[in-house]
Structure 1
Amino acid sequence: MGFGPPQGRPTVTDDEIAAIMNQSPRVRTLRNMLGATGDALNPLIDLYRPWVTGLDRLPRDGRFLLVGNHTAFGFAEVVLVPYYTRRELGVRVRTLAERALGQMSGLGGDLVAAYGGVVGHPDTARELMRHNETVLVFPGGGREMPKFKGDEYQLKWDGRSGFARVAIESGYPIVPVGLVGSDDVYEPLFGRDSTLGRLSQSIGERLGGPPDMAMPLVRGIGPTLIPRPQRMYLEFGEPISTTAPSRTDHSGWVETVKSTTQQALEQILAALQEIRAGDPYRSLNPLAWARAAQPSEPVTQAG
C-alpha cells in the first residue's frame, strides 16, 4: 500500500475524492460498528501482549503522516498501527491502499472504506491532509511483501519519495512506525538469489507479474502452513519535521526527508529485532503470556 511518483499514474477523479471525503450512510454505519468492535477487542489484543512503544510521541492534533514497513502478508501492520493510534488519540487513520483495493465495490469495498482505506494516490493524500486527517502509507507497497529468506524487515522503496513530497507540500510531520514479528509467522525456504528463488521469479514474470512480486515457498509450524504464533513488536518513532530550511532546494529537500524517514524506520526495525531476539516470550507461549514484559520493563528480565 502506498504511492510513488505521480508521473504515469492514473489521476483520481473528482467523484473519487468526493466519495472519500463524503462517505455513504452504509460506510458510516460500518465505521461506527468497527469502532465499537475495536473497543471490544481491547482485552483480546492486550491478551496477546503486543510490545508497543512510542505512542506518547504522536502529535496530539492527529495531523501527521505515518510511514511504515510492509510485512510478509501485509495484515498485522494494517490492523495494529491504526488500532493503537485510534486507541491513543481517538482519531481514525486513513490508510493509502493499492488502487485495486481502494476501488473495490460491494461489501468488501465498504469495509475497506469504513476501516479508513482509500486509493493510494498523491491527490488523495493531499485532500486528506487538507482536511487534517491522520494518514498511513507504506512506500514499498505490494513489492515489499514477498519475503524470500534474508528479505525479512527490509525496506524496498526503490527511490519512492512521493510520500515525502506530499507531506512537505502539506506541512505534515512524518512519524516512522515499524512492526517486527509478522515476517516470522512463516519461514521462507530459500533466498531470492538461489536457484529456486530465481526460478520462482521467472515463473512469476511469465505469469504477467514483475519479478519482485514473486511469492516464495514458506512453511509454518513444522512442514505445514499452520502459522507460527509470534509476538508483535510495534514502535512509533519521533516525528520528523518536513519544514524546509530557508533557501533550500525543493527536490533536494524531498530526498532529504525521504532518506531521513527511511533511515529512522530502518533503525526502529533493527532495534525491535534486537529486543525480539532477547525476549523469552517472542513465540507466544500461552502459559507465559501474563508474564511477558512490556516497554516499561526490560524485556531480558521478563519472567
Structure 2
Amino acid sequence: MAATGSCVFHGGVFLALRRDWMSSNGSFKSGPIGIPNARRLAVSATSMDQVASTSSPEITATSSAMESNVFGKGRFEKNHEHAATKIVGVGGENGSRSNFGWEDMEVRKSLKDYFEQSVELIRSDGGPPRWFSPLECGSRMDNSPLLLFLPGLDGVGLGLIKHHQKLGKIFDVWCLHIPVRDRTPFTELLKLVEKTVKDEHRRSPKKPIYLAGESLGACLALSVAACNPHIDIVLILSNPATCFSKSPLQPVVSLLELMPESLQVSLPYILNLLKGDTSRRPLEIVELILQQIISELSQDLGALSSHLSVLADILPVETLIWKLKMLKSASADSNSRLHAVKAQTLILCSGRDLLLPSIEEGRRLSQFLPKCEIRRFSDNGHFLFLENGVDLAATIRGASFYRRSQKLDFVSDFIPPSPAEFTKIFKDYRLIDLVTSPVLFSTLEDGKIVRGLAGIPEEGPVLFVGYHMLLGLELAPMVGQFFKEKNIILRGMAHPMMFVKVKEGSLPELASYDSFRMMGAVPVTAQNLYKLLSSKAHVLLYPGGVREALHRKGEEYRLFWPEQSEFIRMAARFGAKIVPFGVVGEDDFGEVVFDYEDLIKIPYFKNQIEALTSEAVRLRADMKGEVANQAVHLPGILPKLPGRFYYYFGKPFDTEGQKEELRDREKAHELYLQVKGEVENCLAYLQSKRESDPYRRLWDRLAYQAKHGFTSEVPTFEI
C-alpha cells in the first residue's frame, strides 16, 4: 500500500497512521485524527473504511480543521501499491544464498522504545480505533501477505515494536490502535476488524490474511476467523485470554458487575477492605496490577517507576476497568465460536504468565481447533512480544506458517535465516562441534583433494548425494560449515515426519524440528526436488533415508539405496552437478547394540514401533526391498568417547547437456551406479586415512586446543 499524501514530521518515532475514513468515491472523509501533538508522526491515508454507523458517538465525530492541519488540503485517492524497496534473493538464481538483507536488522527496539512511543500515541489521544502501519515496516518483498496486529489490554498497538523491522520485510503490517478514552465495545471492534479482513480478501483473494493477537486481541482474532471460515486466515495467538475465567483478575470483574457504576470509582478501596488492609491508598490496588504487568516486562528496577507512570497513562483506572470487563465478554464470545474456527492457527504459550494459565489453555484450544500447532516459551511471561529473546518472524517461519498464497510452497516461500538466527540455531549444536572437531575435504576440478569447501560448486543447481550417518549426526556440523564458509544453504530433503504428524502420539513434537525448517529443510517429494533444482538451489539428498540413519548392528558405512535411479534424470533435466560425498565417524561416537531385529522380537517394543510408525507419513510404500516402508524406531546405542567426524566431497558429476541422453533408463541407471560407487569410494578413503590422523582421539584434540586456543583449527592427516 502506498503512503499517499504523507507528511513526515521531525523526530524519531516515524509511525504512519493509516486512517479508515474513505468515502464511497475514494476521497478522504473528514474525521478526527486525535493526535494534535503528532509532530513526530508521519500520517497517511489508507484503504480502511469507516466503522459502521452503529459505533459509539466518538467514532463518528468529525474535525475538518484537524484533518487540514495534519494532512494538508486536498483529496486522497486509494492506492494499494507499496512504495517500498524490492527485496530479492529468496528464489531464482539466489535460492541457496543467505542474501536476504537481514544484516542491518540485528539491533532491535527495546522496552524503553515501547513506552516512549506509547507516550507519543496517547498524548491528547482521541477518536475511534484505527489502523496504523509503522514506517519501520515500509520495505518488504513483493507479494507479501497482510498481517493485522490486534493488541491486548494496553490497546496502543505497539506490542510488536521489537519485531517491526523483521516482520516488515516479509509482511504488510497494520496495527490496531485503540485510544485510551475510547469505549468501543468488543462487538464493534469485531465488526471493524472483520470489515477490514473482508475488504482485503476481496482485493487479494489468493493471499492469506494473518491475524496476530495477544490476550484480548487473540480473542478478537478467533471471533473474526469463526465469522469468516471461507476466508484464508492464519491466526498467530499469543497467550489468548479465552481462559479469562481462570485468571486471577476474574474476581475483580465479578465484583464490578455486582456494584453500581457510581461506586466503581472506589473499587480499589473496596478491594483493600476485602483483603483486610485499610492502610493502602485507594488507587494502590490498581497500581499493584500495573506493577504485576511491569514485573513481567522489565528486570530494570531503576526504570520501573518511569515505566509504571507511562503504563498508568495507558491504563488509567477507568480504562482498566473497561478493559477488564471487555476481556470477560471477549473470552465468552470467542469461546462460543471455537467450533466454527477453520483457520490455520499457531498458539504461543508462556510458561511464566502471571495473568493467565496460558500453557494449559494452549492445550485446551488445540483440541477444538483442527489446524492448530503450539509453541511454548517456558521462561517468558504474559507480554511475550515485548520480552527479550523472542523473535516472532523466526517463530512463524520455523513453524512453516509463512506463506504468500493459498498453499505453502517450501521453495518460493522460504526465507533464508539471518546471521543472528543462524547463530542462535547452531548454539544448540556447539557441543557436537567441540567434541567431534569435524574436518571437511572437497575435490577441485583438476581432481586435487583440499581441506575445506573450495571444491564445492558456487553456482547451482547442485545435488549433494551421500551417506546418512547413524541418527543423522553428521547434519548439523555439515550444514553449519556450508553456511559459515560458503554462505550456502543446503536445502535438505527431509522425512515428512518433520513437517506433519498423521496423528498425535509419542513422536517428537513438530516444534523440535523448527530449526531444520528454518535452515531450509523440505519434505522429500519429487515435486519439491523439481522446484529446488529449477530454482538453482544446493540440495541435500540421502537415497538411503531412514534405513541408513537407523541401521542395524555391524552395518556402519553400508549404503542402502533403492534399485531405481530416482534422482539422475531429474538432475539432468536442469543440468545440475551431482556431488557424491561420504561421512565417517559414527562408530567412534556410539555403537548399535540393540537394533530393529532385536526390538521387534519383544512384544512391548514391537507395539511401540507400530504405534510410532502409524504416526508418521509412510515413504516408498509402493516399493519393495530394504528401503521400502521403513519402521520408525530408536535403536539401543552404547555411547563411546567421541572420536572425530570426517567429510569428503568427491568430484562433481556434471549433467549439463545430457538431458536427452539420460532420458534413457539404462544410461541413467549407469550414472546412478557410478555416483553410488563414488560415495562408497569416499567412505573407504576416509576410513583408511583417519587411521593416520594424530588427532583422531578426543583427548589429543582437546590438548591441542588448550595449547593453541579453542577456536583454532585442529590439524588432521596429510592429504
TM-score, normalising length: structure 2 = 0.34
Letter of the 1:124 partner, please give it: N
Identify the residue that residue 478 of structure 2 maps to in structure 1: 81
CA deviations 1:21-61 (Å, max 9, x no partner) are 214xxx66x65433344798999848853221112221121
CA deviations 1:35-93 (Å, max 9, x no partner) are 344798999848853221112221121430111211111132x2122222223321211
CA contact (8 A) 2:583 2:646 kept: yes
Hey, what's the Cα distance between the residues in 2 that align with 1:259 and 1:184? 29
Q: Any gaps of 5 or more consecutive residues in structure 2?
A: 1-404, 443-452, 502-508, 614-628
1:270 maps to which of 677, 684, 690: 684
CA 1:253–1:113: 2 relative to 1, 3 Å: same
2:462 maps to which of 48, 57, 64: 64
Percent identity, please: 25
Hey, what's the Cα distance between the residues in 2 that align with 1:232 and 1:248? 35
* Correspondence list, 1:114-153, <5 A: 114-153=518-557
1:189 is paired with a residue whose SS is strand
2:421 maps to which of 22, 31, 34: 34
* Correspondence list, 1:42-53, <5 A: 45=433, 49-53=437-441
CA contact (8 A) 2:461 2:575 kept: no
Letter of the 2:570 partner, please give it: V
Identify the residue that residue 412 of structure 2 maps to in structure 1: 21
Is 1:232 the counterpart of 2:645? The answer is yes
Letter of the 1:21 partner, please give it: S
CA contact (8 A) 1:205 1:211 kept: no
* Correspondence list, 1:259-298, <5 A: 259-285=673-699, 286-290=701-705, 294=715, 298=718
CA 1:103–1:166: 2 relative to 1, 3 Å: farther
Question: Over aligned residues, Cα RMSD in angstroms?
Answer: 3.4
The worse-fitting range, judged by mean Cα deviation, of 158-167 and 42-51 is: 42-51
CA contact (8 A) 1:137 1:163 kept: no
Identify the residue that residue 225 of structure 1 maps to in structure 2: none
Hey, what's the Cα distance between the residues in 1 that align with 2:669 and 2:408? 28
Letter of the 1:188 partner, please give it: V
* Correspondence list, 1:185-264, <5 A: 185-189=589-593, 198-203=597-602, 207-208=609-610, 215-221=634-640, 228-243=641-656, 244=658, 250-264=664-678
Identify the residue that residue 157 of structure 1 maps to in structure 2: 561
CA deviations 1:228-257 (Å, max 9, x no partner) are 311111111110122438756521222122
Letter of the 1:298 partner, please give it: E
CA 1:41–1:201: 2 relative to 1, 3 Å: closer
TM-score, normalising length: structure 1 = 0.74
Say how many residue pairs are matched.
Answer: 269
Hey, what's the Cα distance between the residues in 2 that align with 1:62 and 1:135? 9
2:547 is paired with a residue whose SS is helix
CA 1:17–1:177: 2 relative to 1, 3 Å: farther
Larger Rg: 2
CA deviations 1:74-124 (Å, max 9, x no partner) are 132x21222222233212111110111134786445432211111111100
Pairwise CA distance, 1:205:
6.1
CA 1:183–1:170: 2 relative to 1, 3 Å: farther
Q: Which has the higher helix share?
A: 1
CA 1:81–1:257: 2 relative to 1, 3 Å: farther
Identify the residue that residue 112 of structure 1 maps to in structure 2: 516
Hey, what's the Cα distance between the residues in 2 that align with 1:201 and 1:142? 17
1:93 maps to which of 490, 510, 513: 490
2:572 maps to which of 162, 168, 190: 168
Letter of the 2:677 partner, please give it: Q
CA 1:17–1:219: 2 relative to 1, 3 Å: same
2:556 is paired with a residue whose SS is coil
Pairwise CA distance, 1:177:
1.8
More relative contact order in 1 or in 2 (CA 8 Å, sep 6+)?
1
